[in-house]
Amino acid sequence: MSKAIVLNDKFENSGELALPEKFEGIHSHNLHLYVKSYQAALRANTASTKSRSDVRGGGKKPFAQKGGGRARAGSRTNPVWVGGGIAFGPRANRNYDQKVNKKQKRLALEFALNEKASKDALFVVDSIVVESGKTKDAAAIVKSIGARDVLIVKDLIDEKTFLAFRNVPTAYLIESNELNAYLATAFYAVVIEKSVLETIAKEG
């Protein structure tokens, strides 16, 4: 059974916390489907070309059907002509959304957190608060974790803590309702408030 590392109020290692049994045995395909869906939703979908019906011109037959020694042509918008439309080009109305149901989203998050715990990269703390609001104090917390980058999950973000973390390049502060499997896997370590983890454990 995977265990999260428990931190005290000084963000020092003070023990371990076993994750719920339901976090075990989840298939990794749930995470794959969620990440694929999340990244698809981020696509800008701005690539667009003009078909022959969108290109200007083409009202008049460019030259006589016979007698010119050239291949017959009925319109300058034909895709084989320079300046004509594009055949089968990308259109901005394409829908890239991929459906993932609620159960799969939950399983993906549970799998991601379990994976972090198995790599000693999931940290649990009672409360994440930087009362001073200073960046150096937030940076000291991140440094004590000893990870390349850290996802910090609070139940509700207060103004002082937000100000402290917003300029720390190796940390990303979010509220519990923003947490998802993609973010949990995108960062090297996750620091999460105990109440948030308990809520996740109760869901489903």
Query: pLDDT for 96-147, tens place per residue?
Result: 889 999 999 999 999 999 999 999 999 999 999 999 999 999 999 999 999 9
What single letter denotes the amino acid at residue 172? Answer: Y
**35, 55, 102, 148 from 32: Cα distances, Å:** 5, 41, 15, 23
pLDDT recorded at residue 204? 65
**11, 34, 115, 120, 192 from 189: Cα distances, Å:** 14, 19, 11, 8, 10
What superfamily does domain 3-41+98-202 belong to in CATH?
Ribosomal protein L4/L1 (3.40.1370.10)
Angle separating helix axes 194-202 and 102-118, nearest 10 degrees: 130
Structure letter (DSSP) for residue 145: H
Helix extents (H) in the chain: 29-41, 102-118, 135-145, 159-165, 181-186, 194-202
52 and 81 Cβ atoms separated by less than 8 Å: no
d(CA 4, CA 116): 8
Q: What are phi and psi of 5, to 5 degrees?
A: -85, 125
Number of Cβ atoms within 10 Å of the Cβ of 183: 17
- The sign of the torsion formed by the CA atoms of 162, 164, 167, 172 equals negative
State the chain's mean pLDDT as an integer.
Answer: 93
CATH 3.40.1370.10 location in the chain? 3-41+98-202
Confidence class for position 6, pLDDT limits 50, 70, 90: very high
At residue 43, the 3 state secondary structure works out as coil
The per-residue pLDDT for range 31-71, each reduced to its tens digit, is 999 999 999 999 888 999 999 999 998 888 999 999 999 99
